[in-house]
Structure 1
Amino acid sequence: MAEKAGSSSGTTGTGPEEPPRSADLKGGPGHTVLLALVLAVPVTKVAYTVGGGGAARDVFVGMEPANWPDVLIGMVLTDPLLASVLAVVVSRVVFALFAARGAVPVGGGFWAVVQRVALTVVNPIAVGVVDACFFGPWWGLGTGLAAYALRKGVVVECRTGRRRPHGHRAGRPATAGAHHEGDGRPSPGLRRVAALEQWVALGLTTVALPALCFVSALDGQAWTSIVRCQVTDGTRSESNRLIELGRKGNGVVGWNLDTEEISNGLGCTGEESLYVREPWWRG
């Protein structure tokens, strides 16, 4: 009876540590927020930029479905802060998902350490390099370090037993090679690091990233190039500004900012400014 009680107590004690793994495996706040932003932000961007309603519908029809992702891509490539935060969040969410499936070794052996280091470092280096290519070395360095810090936090959670891979039973010892105090619980220092990482990741995912996305969506800038083209309407030809939606032959298909309709333009030249209207917070 004593053994059963002890086992039950151990299971209860580790129960609160199951949600991080379960959330990552089944779809936690990171997955939910990213999906919601992918659906809502591009539509918001187009609707605010061109005026909403029928204009937004015409733009999406004119772009064709294959080009719809260009809205989100264009937003990311024109806003370094948004791109950096998005890269950090995606890096952490993907790593947490793989950790929940047992991809992060937690043992203390040499090869386990090598695997952990490789899994923790490779992706932050990659996102840092990509960010540096578009926005400069300092943006790349900051993005890489932030992505590494959050990934390192996930590793700490795995090693302290706060985050167990799928299929790990709660009554079993946390992990081989985990850091423990004398009573078998993770050390206070590592628990604080893991808790801090979770709060930072939650803040970036549920507050910072959505805020930056909607600020970018409502800033009044086009998500792609603005060109000045010769647009022919019957026998009349005039110079108009178009938001480029696609190219056909020698011309451009775009949203005509002067006539507020889809137009075909020829002899187009690019314009430096991407601003179409005042930002929402100034209107």
Structure 2
Amino acid sequence: MSAIDGLPPLRDVIATHGLDAKKALGQNFLLDLNLTQKIARAAGLLNGVTVIEVGPGPGGLTRALLALDAGSVIAIERDARCLPALAEVGAHYPGRLRVIEGDALTHGYDDGIAGPVKIVANLPYNVGTQLLVNWLTVEPWPPAYQSLTLMFQREVAERIVARPGDSAYGRLGVLAGWRTEARIVFDVPPQAFTPPPKVTSSVVHLVPRADPVACEGPVLARVTQAAFGQRRKMLRQSLKALGGEELLTKAAIDPTRRAETLSIEEFCTLARLVASWNR
């Protein structure tokens, strides 16, 4: 891709700016520019779209998004060491890259964006799950974004797309299945990264449902966290703090069942009851 955008290879960028990946920041830099383009293409057409990217690092995926005609990219990066490298990308694509130094978990960045929005990111491993939960429970719904195209460890990706009865089914599967259509697009081997992680990664594409089952996202998150936090126990025990057997009886759910057997609709019923009891 360096022949397309005329910018230096990412290895050179990393060497020039001294960007050794920091484990404390969950950084694993993706250097294969063919793969960054593949991730960008997985998000669909980008022309006229504002793309929000979290954790751009040296800018490999950022470059792919801009080269594939994203209208603009808003990149949120908490590592100040990466800012000079991203500034070089911005200079190459004048007016199309906005870099925000900050933590995406706490920083507001999607206010006042005109036109369609997509979120595309090779997420830092240490915050990826929480960011996804935040995006899945945002209000109002449907959200401002048209889709999420995100990279996770393969194990996390399997949890996101899991369905009732699957061994990986849990809190993430309920939240993602409740509000989105989620699928794994492709895997990325460890050797594509610097430093190489110990596990395979996967790109997941999530498209918001226009009309998900009604319930409050934060309450559903609480219910699923409690239920799957003690997944080997019967629901009457794991949900004891939220109402236990009384709650389950009210929802017409057998209190002796376990969390992995419940459908998304049943979890939403529990969340609605918990919300009504707490008002």
Place the TM-score, normalised by the shorter chain, in its bin.
under 0.3
Name which one, 1 or 2, has greater alpha-carbon Rg.
Answer: 1
What TM-score comes out, normalization by structure 2 length? Answer: 0.26
Q: Which has the higher helix share?
A: 1
What TM-score comes out, normalization by structure 1 length? Answer: 0.25
* Structure of greater relative contact order (alpha carbons < 8 Å, 6+ residues apart): 1
